[in-house]
Amino acid sequence: MLRRRADAARPGGGHACPASAGGVREAGQAGASMRETGNALRRRWIESGRVSFPALPISLQGVAVLYVRGWQKVQFAPRPPPPARGPAVTAIVPRGHGTGSGTNQGLPRRSGVISVAILGSSDEREGRGRMKNRVLVFGLSTLLVVCGACVGLGTFVWNRLVVDTTGKVDFANAMAVPTLAPSRLDAAGRRVFDLRASEGRHDFGRGSVPTWGFNGAYLGPTIRAARGEQVVINVHNELPETTTVHWHGVHLPATMDGGPHRPIAPGETWSPAWEMDQPAATLWYHPHPHGETASHVYRGLAGMFIVDDPGTSVAALPHRYGVDDFPVIVQDKLLTDEGELDEGRSFLGDVGILGDTIAVNGTVGPYLDVTTERVRLRLLNGSNARSYEFGFADDRGFAVVGTDGGLLSEPFGTTRIALSPGERAEIVVTVRPGERPVLRSTPPPLGLDPLSNRFSGGTDTLDILQLRAVDRLTASEALPTRLVRVPRLDPAQAAGRRSFRLSDRAINGQRMDMTRVDATAIKDTVEIWRLTNNDGSPHSFHLHDVQFQVLTEDGRTPPPQLLGWKDTLFLRPNVAYEIIVPFIDYTDPAVPYMFHCHVLYHEDQGMMGQFVVVEPGQHAGTPVGAPGHRHGP
């Protein structure tokens, strides 16, 4: 440490200088004059070759204090200075220059820094000292204030990023139950539905605000159709913007899929038609316009799609819609100070919109009157980005009976079920008379680093829905131990393998290009796809048209909730998932299906690809209806 000693030389007095390793002797004799002592000491040091001061004039004002590493201190005073000299001077000799050539030749190697400070008169020194002290104190105080403010702001922001509504939700509003979409049979015996996408207004608890919806102000009716039926859905666009409607989880021809290749302009009607040919399942529908999906879904364009099939349904399960069988579409909303929907991205996050207000079927603070011993909840994560881990506040168990593509082979009991955006789960809950259990989402297991986890909603706890059991409950049938047969696909029959890496808004390093086909599959084959999240951000992988099965998670047998048919799968970072994908029934070399991340902001940014299914011997063509929209490299 370098210090400057400000002692004034005392008249008639000398200063003892302890001998150094180089033989520094006592500087001056007691009683000698100050000038003689200083000059003798200076000459002794210079003549010995230990140090020289070529940069300093021989006549110096004040007192020069030398600090030589090894902590020998030498002090001398030259002749009295002339008046009104300039500012103080400091000379520094860096370590390692002591034995080289030049004016510092001969300085011991262990000598590191020599500082010569030239001081003025006593009054000047004191004045300058006081000023420097004031500046130093002011600077340190300012630094401490700034550091304290930064720490306080960081702590405030860090804590504010955690959303916890435990016990804070006033469950004062009856949960809305979407109506069943009316239908009719046309002359050809097809079941016809009508959907009108239009603007409206909806109340999220702070007054009516602008929203979008199907056949209403917000969300849409539940479409219900049976396996084997021919369906037609007339979609009328009464919005001021072009949109699309994708049938999420439905197995159907690519031309009817409703992806970005089939936009519906304002005032236009699109009427897709297909045969329902898949097991009983809880599916849904929502827009899929290229680059605009997040905003269209967030404003309210979504609804549930239930498929009935006597061969894969179980009568013993609760199945009376609106009585003991309910859709539960869970979404999070971010509201402005005026109570309107805020479509801004989450602060410092990279997943898009994360809200702190939960709406179930559009209802904020919802409760559901339960009149039967058991109730079936068809959970749909309809949020843009947020993942949930659903359970009950009292940690009661419940049975998971179905996932994305239909019922499981058998129910499994649990206290938690995690759903990423786009995923579904059917659960059966048993209640007792008069009780009021609360469905709650605890921090979901995203597998992210602490910073990303907090910015992605991974530390949030949210009260979702209160069940209100009446005092006298209608008896329900016992939960069966077996549900339906789920045939397992054989990996040995796979026609090929593919790997897909999700990272930096791209899949396999490429962002979405509507003119490019990324994979070509052959009809009536199965393939094994290896999926990996490589960038540490939450990703939910969705595959159009097909229902797949999960073979392995990180090389191991997947947990029970992943053993059924799936169309959407959460990918934990740096964990490899192998899925087996069947390609059956429909071919079209020029109209692709999509695969993409279902965190909708990521999808809109280009984390999406395309595949076509072709007959043996066919090749992929150029996608029709592609406006040539590309996302960067």
DSSP string covering 202-259, please?
Answer: EESSSSEEEEEEESSSSB-PBEEEETT-EEEEEEEE-SSS-B--EEET----GGGS--
**How many separate helices (H) and strands (E) can be counted in the chain?**
5, 37
What are the sequence ranges of the domains in the chain?
1-120, 491-614
**Topology (CATH level 3) of domain 491-614:** Immunoglobulin-like (2.60.40)
Place of tokens 């016809």: 192
What pLDDT is stored for residue 125 in this prediction?
59
For residue 368, what are the β-bridge partners? 467
d(CA 517, CA 530): 18
Q: What's the Cα-to-Cα distance from 460 to each of 164, 388, 443, 572, 597, rounded to whole Å?
A: 6, 9, 5, 18, 22
Q: What is the DSSP string of 347-395?
A: TT-SSS---SEEEETTEESEEEEEEESEEEEEEEE--SS--EEEEETT-
Spans of the chain, pLDDT less than 50: 1-35, 37-38, 41-42, 45-79, 84-120, 153-156, 158-159, 632-633
CA distances from 535 to 46, 447, 452, 454, 539 (A): 66, 12, 11, 16, 9
CA distance 43 to 289: 89
**Alpha helices in 230-351, H assignment, sequence order:** 293-298
- Name the nearest CA neighbour of 112 among 84, 93, 131: 93
- What is d(CA 312, CA 288) in angstroms, rounded to the nearest whole number? 29
CB count within 10 Å of CB 495 equals: 12
Answer left, alpha or beta for residue 387, where phi above 0 means left and psi between -120 and 50 means alpha.
beta
Q: Which residues pair with 202 in a beta bridge?
A: 209
607 touches 512 (CB < 8 A): yes
pLDDT (0 to 100) of residue 54: 41
What tokens were used for 296?
A: 């269209």
Q: 366-372 and 173-174 as β-strands: parallel, antiparallel, unpaired?
A: parallel
Taking alpha carbons only, the member of 131, 123, 40, 43 closest to residue 83 is 123
CA distance linking residue 44 with residue 339, whole number of Å? 85
User: Which tokens sit at 616?
Assistant: 């043996």
Q: So what's the pLDDT on residue 392?
A: 98
Strands (E), 42-174: 64-68, 72-76, 90-92, 115-118, 173-174
Q: Print the SS3 string covering 233-247.
A: EEEEECCCCCECCEE
Residue 160's pLDDT is what?
54
The model's pTM: 0.77
Dist. CA 580–CA 521, nearest whole Å: 13
Spatial distance between the Cα atoms of 266 and 237, rounded to a whole number of angstroms: 5
Is residue 420 a contact partner of residue 381, using CB atoms and an 8 Å limit?
yes
Q: Tell me, what's the pLDDT at 48? A: 46
pLDDT at 132: 65
In angstroms, what CA-CA distances link 117 with 75, 98, 435, 483, 562? 11, 20, 83, 91, 76
In this prediction, residue 143 carries a pLDDT of: 75
**Rounded distance, CA 536 to CA 530, Å?**
17
Q: 604-620 b/e with 16+ CB inside 10 Å = b?
A: bbbbbbbbbbbeeeeeb
